[in-house]
Chain A
Amino acid sequence: MKKSRSGNLPVKPSLKKGLAVMLGILFGLSIFTFYHAKGTSYFFDDPESCMNCHIMREQFDSWAQSSHKAVATCNACHTPKDFLGKYASKGLNGWNHSLAFTTAQFQEPLQIKEFNEKIVQKNCIRCHEIQISQMRDFGFSEELDCLSCHGNVGHGNRR
């Protein structure tokens, strides 16, 4: 057999088998990690899932004591209503949150950012359209920010 610099040589079948086993382990480990981290729960609407990461406990508890508990879950306010928008925002936030929580790089107390604030505002309007229709037609140059006055409806009394 002739050697070549590019390593263009036949590979022993036993090595291939070894690699296959290795990939199998990797695949299995990935599935287990996904299961262990309750991965599927993120596809649904149960507010408990948002508490999978303990850093969200305060948000969960304050929601549980808020006036909106009876009518709105986390996703009702924090994800867009349409299917694509909902899962796109879940994906994006999911990635950002996982990265922040895994590396422990985040600011406390937690603060909502512009991207998510817009989603919440849209959802305020979505449910309260009738009540606010007159306000909106009043000709304000900028859209009013619901949360600037009603910041505690979703998350009870903040410390």
Chain B
Amino acid sequence: MAFTALKENRRFYIILFVVSTFATFIILALLFNITQRQKEAKRYPFKVVEIDEYEIDPVIWGKNFPHQYDTFIKTEIDYGKTEYGGSTPYSKLERYPAMKRLWAGYAFSVDHDEERGHYYAAIDQVNTLRTIKVSQPGACVNCHAAETPGLIREMGWESFNKTPFNDLKGRLKTGSSCSDCHDPETMELVITRPAFRIAMKSAGVDLDKATRQDMRSYVCAQCHVEYYFKGENKVLTFPWSQGRTMDDVETHYDTYDFKDWTHKETGAPMLKVQHPEFELWGTGIHGGYSVW
């Protein structure tokens, strides 16, 4: 039969040999190509330098993350005043003279300028009369210097907060930096500030389970919140035990009989809310509908 004849045909086997040799060659080449491409994927983000685990200098980070650095360094630029503040550090006490009297007896009555970009976080804090004329605790440093995590590692959480601001002042060289919110290897968002971690833990939120979308709010919430310095050790604390609405926060303070200061003219115990952006968003309509 023709079929049997073909099967015994030497030419058939020669062709089969050549074809399968060729196919094996192609498949192996493809396999090596795929492996090569997968290796390329591992070179992301493309590293020009190795960024140390504890590196805080944005210039070094900028070598590996140039686009992000470009936008970060824009916070140095003064783009003028806007309806909501802007970046010109004009004196708010001159602009709103009543504040001097409303804040009588409180450091803010001495000096209060419009705040500006992250770049200036340490610079402006070291130069404000609120830290020069008034003695402040190290707790203030928490959100004003990228050196904070290093100082906490060195001194311990409580004693870092307790140490006078002036003792730490000389070591504050870097304002807010990449390292405050990012992992140097992957640029993933990370929490670096203990106060937020502690507050979320007592609120029953497991930060390890936070999604990327959650983290995009959480990293901001490390600092853009209402806070106070608790007890003798002046430990930075978020007043969230009752919840995060304004009333909840007031209830929290009332249970401690906490006050920010005593008013100089009236003798009234006073509270001054700081910058509760995270709370206002979270308890507002956008937060309620998971709009980040």
Contact = CB atoms under 8 A, between A and B. Distances in A.
Interface of A: 6-11, 15-16, 19, 22-23, 25-26, 29-30, 32-33, 36-37, 53-54, 57, 64, 101-102, 159
Contact of B11 (A6, A22, A30, A159): A6
Contacts, number: 63
A22 B10 contact: no
B37 A16 contact: no
Interface of B is mostly: helix
A33 B27 contact: yes
Interface of B: 5, 8-11, 13-14, 16-17, 20-21, 23-24, 27-28, 30-31, 33-35, 37, 40-41, 44, 67, 212
A8 B37 contact: no
Given A6-B9, A29-B24, A54-B40, A22 B31 contact: no
Given A6-B9, A7-B10, A101 B37 contact: yes
B13 A29 contact: no
A30 B13 contact: no
Contacts of B35: 36
B172 to A, nearest CB: 33
A159 B67 contact: yes
Contacts of B23: 26
19 contacts: A7-B9, A8-B5, A8-B11, A11-B8, A23-B20, A26-B20, A26-B23, A26-B27, A29-B28, A33-B30, A53-B37, A53-B41, A54-B40, A54-B41, A57-B41, A64-B212, A101-B37, A102-B33, A159-B67
